[in-house]
């Protein structure tokens, strides 16, 4: 949440900053701002609204300089106003700071600073941090890069909370200082230029050489180089990594929205999630990143899967997959609940956390809580080098490439593929035969082409979306492997269209939900031809008997759904445990087209941010 970028080099900073900031707009988009050092002091521009507003302002009232910082905001403390937009300044007005995170003790710090004669212009926690660093710096006589770092250290030792920050100071031109704790910060190493950002996507036009900073690290950078130290003042070792994706991967290409582009990438991303991980000769999956031997995996008695939002829905499918293929009991839990719940977890429990961004605050906290209790934790992440990916004892990357649309789509199907591989691996260790394992591999190999086939239904789904777009309420129903798909379909519609959508196990209808059914309330049934198909059919009949419109997602070749449902979308056949990968795609497209029909801001829905780094 919130995105920050810093640039120092030979180019004009405002252009580099805006270019980077636009790549981070998914992190928050209620206001934006930038500050540059232009030779005679700080130049500042701030605007309420999208980054386009800031861009317009900078075009109308240009600022210059080769060192600068900028920010796109998702409000936590203080409403959406120009005053609350970042950067914020210290008392002297010479220090400008951008921040992603939450300073929890800001009220106490602010009160103490006020006693000391400080006045504040905003309601933000960030302004308090700027004042704190500025006060420490003003206490020091020498005006140098080293002293700025020293002042930062002294200030951060007083702070409770999370931060990814970047700041500049008029008295020390050509320098940016950054630090992190709990919020991501990546250093980009260029030629005669260096950058700092919340996400590597912001700097791929300049460099693909990056250092993922760790918690409690401080970086000082200028055009020629950088130094990384710890909060305690020691030198810190670092690894330079190469960003896997290119500029092309973070652009929309010919698609009108990132969401549509990412939905259409799924034949590739589903393939990439299993690439190099299928071992037909052994009839199993190879997941070296788990860092666990077969003997250790054999000892696993129980599994807990955790995550938030879409990632949790993927985990719920994983629960069914692992229980079905490996017969290991699985419990799936909201990360926001798990972190505070005193879940009795037996000794040989393995914990999986799932997160596209690898930065979600609740998921990270759940992971840390489980580690504190001595459990081995494994991650299923997309964002390479992210905090969750790094803090886990092992894990599997999704390799889905950057996901920029706020609504998660391709990451979800990658999470399902990865979990099917985990289920296969565990199954083969426990009781699946070689030929059963091989059959599963053959079915997995067919999935990318089947996904491509589902995407051919796009035009038809767009027509169906038009028919139902004005609905006030929508219901989503599914059973077993596809109950979480109903949850995911409802979430997609809620977040992109703002329609009140709710999801239920189909059989729960008659326990209350059925009261909502009338001619204007469509029900979407996920009803593949699986073990519970007949049961789903009966539930559809119950809705039709009450004049409720029904959209059914079923299996190719089926002719019974068409007899009861108003609109039918048929996708290729697959084994029950793989049907969710195919069933979810029509729901992603349905949500997308409804949102477009309603004129919603598909990639940046109101009030949301892609990466939820606050509690
Ligand atoms: O980055 P994560 O996978 O940890 O994010 C978890 C949720 O915040 C995320 O899936 C959210 O629910 C999406 N907006 C859903 O489309």
pLDDT digits (tens, 9 = 90+) for 280-332: 999 999 999 999 999 999 999 999 999 999 999 999 999 999 999 999 999 99
Token pair of 436 as six digits = 């059963």
For the chain, the residue count is 615
Distance, in Å, from the CA atom of 73 to the CA atom of 609, rounded to the nearest integer, reads 10
Query: 36: Cβ below 6 Å to ligand 1?
Result: no
* Per-residue confidence (pLDDT) for residue 411, from 0 to 100: 98
Please give the distance, rounded to the nearest whole angstrom, from the Cα atom of residue 312 to the centre of ligand 1.
8
pLDDT digits (tens, 9 = 90+) for 384-397: 888 899 899 999 99
Q: How far is CA 478 from CA 157, 195, 516, 578, in A?
A: 51, 47, 17, 15
Residue 513's CB: how many other CB atoms inside 10 A? 18
Residue ranges of E strands in 264-404: 278-279, 284-285, 302-307, 330-334, 349-355, 376-381, 394-397
Closest of 71, 44, 47 to residue 57, by C-alpha: 47
Q: Supply the Cα-derived Rg of the chain in whole angstroms.
A: 25
Q: Is the CB of 406 under 6 A from ligand 1?
A: yes
Note the Cα 256 to chain centre separation in Å.
21
Q: Is 183 exposed, middle or buried (0-12, 13-18, 19+ CB in 10 A)?
A: buried
Ligand 1 binding pocket includes 407 (Cβ within 6 Å): yes
Q: Is 22 a catalytic residue?
A: no
Dihedral of alpha carbons 444, 449, 455, 457, sign: negative
Backbone phi, then psi, for 405, in 5-degree steps? -55, 135
Q: How high is the pLDDT of residue 594?
A: 98
Give domain limits for the chain.
3-250, 252-455, 456-606
Residue of 315, 355, 389, 408 best suited for mutating to test ligand 1, as the one with most atoms within 8 Å of CB: 408
- Give the 3-state secondary structure of residue 465: helix
Residues of the chain falling short of pLDDT 50: none
Query: Catalytic: which of 94, 261, 604, 610?
Result: 610
Q: If one looks up domain 252-455 in CATH, what number appears?
A: 3.40.50.10490
The Cα 409–Cα 390 span in angstroms is: 24
Distance 562 CA to ligand 1 centre (A): 34
Does 610 participate in catalysis according to the annotation?
Answer: yes
Please indicate whether residue 310, judged by its CB atom, sits closer than 6 Å to ligand 1: yes
Render the burial of 137-154: b for 16+ CB within 10 Å, e for the rest. bbeeeeeebebbbbbbbb
User: What pLDDT shows up at residue 365?
Assistant: 94
Return the best residue to mutate from 184, 308, 493, 498 for the ligand 1 pocket (most ligand atoms within 8 A of CB).
308
Q: Whose CA is nearest to atom 9 of ligand 1?
A: 309
Ligand 1 atom 16 nearest Cα: 407
Terminal-residue alpha carbon distance, the chain: 11
Residue 415 and residue 314: Cα distance in Å, rounded?
A: 6
Q: Which atom of ligand 1 is nearest to the CA of 409?
A: 16
Domain 3-250 has CATH 3.50.40.10: no
Nearest by Cα to 384 from 372, 396, 376, 375 = 396
Fold of the domain built from segment(s) 456-606: Rossmann fold (3.40.50)
53 Rama sector, left if φ>0, alpha if ψ -120 to 50, beta otherwise: alpha
Same fold, 252-455 and 456-606: yes
Q: Which of 212, 116, 224 is nearest to 164 (CA)?
A: 212
pLDDT digits (tens, 9 = 90+) for 490-499: 999 999 999 9
Q: Is the peptide bond before 87 cis (omega within 30 degrees of 0)?
A: yes
């Amino acid at each position: 949440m919130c995105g920050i970028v810093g640039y120092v080099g030979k180019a004009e900073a405002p252009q580099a900053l805006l270019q980077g900031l636009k790549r981070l707009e998914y992190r928050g988009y209620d206001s934006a701002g930038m500050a540059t050092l232009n030779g005679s002091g700080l130049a500042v521009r701030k605007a309420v609204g999208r980054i386009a507003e800031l861009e317009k302002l900078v075009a109308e009232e240009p600022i210059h300089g080769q060192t600068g910082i900028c920010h796109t905001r998702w409000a936590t403390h203080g409403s959406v106003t120009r005053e609350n937009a970042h950067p914020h300044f210290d008392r002297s007005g010479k220090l400008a700071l951008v921040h992603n995170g939450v300073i929890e003790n800001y009220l106490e710090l602010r009160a103490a600073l006020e006693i000391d004669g400080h006045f504040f212009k905003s309601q933000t926690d960030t302004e308090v941090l700027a004042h704190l660093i500025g006060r420490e710096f003003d206490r020091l006589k020498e005006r140098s890069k080293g002293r700025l770092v020293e002042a930062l250290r002294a200030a951060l030792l007083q702070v409770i909370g999370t931060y990814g920050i970047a700041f500049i100071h008029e008295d020390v031109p050509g320098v940016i200082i950054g630090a992190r704790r709990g919020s991501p910060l990546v250093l980009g190493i260029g030629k005669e230029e260096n950058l700092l950002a919340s996400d590597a996507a912001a700097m791929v036009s300049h460099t693909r050489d990056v250092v993922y900073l760790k918690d409690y690290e401080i970086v000082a950078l200028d055009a020629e180089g950088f130094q990384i130290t710890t909060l305690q003042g020691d030198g810190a070792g670092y690894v330079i990594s190469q960003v896997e994706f290119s500029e092309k991967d973070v652009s929309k290409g010919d698609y009108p929205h990132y969401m549509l582009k990412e939905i259409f990438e799924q034949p590739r991303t589903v393939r990439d999630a299993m690439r190099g991980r299928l071992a037909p000769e052994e009839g199993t999956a190879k997941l070296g990143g788990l860092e666990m031997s077969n003997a250790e995996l054999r000892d696993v008695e129980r599994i807990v899967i955790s995550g938030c939002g879409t990632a949790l829905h993927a985990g719920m499918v994983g629960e069914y997959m692992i229980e079905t293929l490996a017969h290991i009991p699985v419990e799936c839990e909201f990360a926001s609940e798990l972190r505070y719940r005193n879940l009795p977890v037996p000794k040989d429990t393995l914990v999986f956390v799932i997160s596209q961004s690898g930065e979600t605050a609740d998921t990270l906290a759940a992971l840390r809580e489980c580690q504190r209790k001595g459990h081995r934790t494994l991650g299923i992440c997309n964002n390479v080098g992210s905090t969750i990916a790094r803090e886990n004892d092992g894990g599997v990357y999704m390799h889905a490439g950057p996901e920029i649309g706020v609504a998660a789509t391709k990451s979800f199907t990658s999470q399902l593929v990865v979990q099917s591989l985990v289920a296969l691996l565990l199954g083969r260790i426990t009781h699946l035969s070689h030929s059963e394992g091989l059959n599963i591999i053959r079915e997995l190999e067919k999935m990318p082409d089947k996904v491509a086939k589902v995407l051919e239904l796009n035009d038809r789904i767009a027509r169906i979306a038009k028919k139902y777009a004005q609905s006030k309420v929508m219901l989503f129903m599914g059973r077993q492997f596809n109950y979480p798909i109903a949850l995911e379909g409802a979430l997609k519609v809620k977040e992109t269209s703002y329609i009140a959508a709710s999801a239920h196990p189909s059989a729960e209808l008659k326990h209350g939900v059925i009261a909502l059914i009338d001619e204007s309330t469509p029900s979407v049934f996920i009803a593949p031809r699986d073990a519970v198909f007949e049961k789903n059919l009966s539930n559809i009949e119950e809705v039709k008997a009450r004049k409720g419109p029904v959209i059914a997602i079923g299996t190719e070749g089926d002719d019974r759904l068409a007899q009861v449902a108003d609109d039918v979308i048929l996708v290729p056949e697959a084994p029950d445990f793989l049907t969710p990968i195919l069933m979810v795609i029509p729901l992603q497209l349905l949500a997308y087209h409804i949102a477009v029909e309603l004129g919603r801001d598909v990639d940046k829905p109101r009030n949301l941010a892609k990466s939820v780094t606050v509690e």
